[in-house]
Amino acid sequence: MTTILFALFLSFFRIGLFGFGGGYAMLPLMELEIVQSRGWINPFEFIDIIAVAEMTPGAIAINAATFVGYRVAGLAGAILSTIGVITPPLLLVLPVGWLVIRYQKNRRLEQALQGIHPAVLSLIVLAAFVLGGEAMIDLQSYTVAAVSLILLFYTRMHPIILIILGAAAGIILYGF
């Protein structure tokens, strides 16, 4: 059990260390590490965990780490996975924040940040494709996604309402 707990901590520490751009940018790293490399959960469980992590209060990466850790190794796994994913940002935010504030007018820093923005966006787009590939299983799922996108683009519907409507659609389309 100690080995799996250490592996959970280390895996989520790496995810937290390289998860520039926030929780959504971390999703491809999580999927690669916990589904593909480690095989701790399958792709369908990953989608379910991300859905629940998105619906619960807090950062999606922290919530997902907690849920995966719990699924793999119970309460101790949840605690160590959560500590693992939050430790790198906590250790990096102070020196990096100090550097950004100190050198915010530096041309090289501005150029570096200009390069980081599209790279982070590409991670978020990759997360959408990875999750979409696993979530889109039939015509009904494509229909729910299309209607959701239309509602997001053309109305001011709150995302929580959209999630509730998606859950209702799932109950209606896939039965009780």
- Report the pLDDT value the prediction gives residue 150, as an integer from 0 to 100: 92
pLDDT for residue 13 is more than 90:
yes
Global confidence as pTM:
0.67
- Report the pLDDT value the prediction gives residue 65, as an integer from 0 to 100: 94
Mean pLDDT, residues 49-58 taken together: 84
pLDDT for residue 24 is more than 80:
no
- Domain map of the chain by residue range? 2-104
pLDDT for residue 132 is more than 70:
yes
Q: Calculate the alpha carbon distances from 21 to 7, 34, 70 in Å.
A: 24, 19, 25
- Report the pLDDT value the prediction gives residue 20, as an integer from 0 to 100: 67
Q: What is the mean pLDDT of the chain?
A: 87
